[in-house]
Chain A
């Protein structure tokens, strides 16, 4: 027995109004501790920062030139100029220090542009960090004249807003990646119910990967449709590529075989590996009338017999 089980009753110390994933001005202000003073300080630096922008960009592009990651993006002078002007207006916006929906939208666009062109997220983070270093150096040196009497507070303020920026951009990067994954997996799902005609009256469907409720429904539909259209008498369901057979998956298979039988088609489950056989025993699932075979070859032999074919070698026929 377990002595200590994790308590179910522990609640977080402070109940937040919104989840962290909620990208909203109020939530970001809360999460990153931005105060009105922070915004005032950042805003005050705006004029100095704008004067220094050519210097920042020069430093940034000197750094970029050494990085192979960026090389593909700045192949010609025209693209480089465009990128520089975008960057300059982007930082101008930053020093406006207004955390509103319009600003967040701009950041989201920035994030998705970066993700779409395939810029590594590490490259984006390192770039932002470089700018942060430059800003901090200028605050410390007194170059940011407007905040020379509150250097420490200014550094904290800039750091907080930079963190907000990266949070929004990374969250967009992440959403973009998730979208790609979802697209790919749904593309894979659609590909994965190919019912083929093996011989007159013999159909075969290899099942590969994960069987969940939606997928099992897709498989069932594809099977039954093909049985009707191809006049199937035996359906071979090869499950050697199935990851896990638990009671839910076994239940799906039982339902599939029942449905095929109702259509007058015999169903054979093949490709039952030793591990899956043991699991089915441990689960004490009663496969009942379901015919099973260890491998596809035996299942095909069974199917031929069932529809009244015999396979003989060419020599023995002579």
Chain B
């Protein structure tokens, strides 16, 4: 096949990944990790961000409906601080009781039920908006220290 282009593709300021299959979820997770690394996060935070994204995109594959969703990563700044934002969105059935889903060991299926509460523990900011019949949007932010 063609040899790889020596001119590296420049890192985008925003990166969107479509999530339909489990493989897409893996791709998004690995991209989140690389994106975080390129922004300058240390390995611990890089892992935390990738793990949080992994939780969210796994949810999209499991519950997000047939159309799946998207994961969008971007570099952000606020008051001179740099950080990373990930927005994971789907047009699935939505979550009826968000408060319950945010509590430990609450799962609609046979999983650990720790995903969403863990994101809250790991990320600086985590906002989840869900409307039944419309979809779910989760936004996480982590700031460089």
A-side residues, CB < 8 A to B, are 1-2, 5-6, 8-9, 118, 120-121, 180, 210, 212-214, 243-251, 274-276, 278-279, 282-285
Contact = CB atoms under 8 A, between A and B. Distances in A.
Contacts of B22: 212-214
B114 A283 contact: yes
A213 B114 CA distance: 18
Nearest to B55: A246
A120 B131 contact: no
A138 B4 CA distance: 37
A247 B55 contact: yes
A248 B114 CA distance: 9
Contact of A276 (B33, B47, B58, B134): B47
B45 to A, nearest CB: 9
Contact of A244 (B54, B89, B134, B135): B54
B11 interface: no
Contact of A8 (B55, B89, B104, B121): B89
Interface string B71-82: 000000000000
B26 A284 contact: no
How would you classify the secondary structure of chain B's contact residues: helix, strand, loop or mixed? helix
Contacts of B118: 247, 282-284
Nearest to A211: B26
Contact of B54 (A6, A121, A248, A285): A248
B115 interface: yes
B100 interface: no
Contacts of A251: 111-112
A9 B29 CA distance: 26
B50 interface: yes
Interface residues of B, number: 38
Given A2-B139, A251-B111, A275-B43, A246 B51 contact: yes
Contact of A274 (B44, B122, B131, B137): B44
B87 interface: yes
Interface in B43-100: 43-44, 46-48, 50-51, 54-55, 58, 87, 89, 91
Given A5-B139, A120-B2, A248 B111 contact: yes
Contacts of A6: 87, 89, 137
* Residue with the greatest number of chain B CB neighbours at <10 A, chosen from A121, A248, A251: A248
Contacts of A210: 26, 30
Given A5-B137, A244-B47, 17 more contacts: A1-B127, A2-B127, A6-B89, A8-B131, A213-B22, A243-B29, A246-B54, A247-B55, A247-B114, A247-B118, A248-B58, A248-B111, A250-B112, A251-B111, A275-B43, A275-B46, A284-B121
Interface string B103-140: 01000000110110110011000010101001101010
B64 to A, nearest CB: 12
A243 B22 CA distance: 15
A120 to B, nearest CB: 5
Contacts of A249: 54
A6 B22 CA distance: 24
Contact of B91 (A8, A212, A275): A8
A257 to B, nearest CB: 14
B50 A278 contact: no
A247 B115 contact: yes
B29 A8 contact: no
A256 to B, nearest CB: 14
A245 B91 contact: no
A251 B112 CA distance: 7
A279 B48 contact: yes
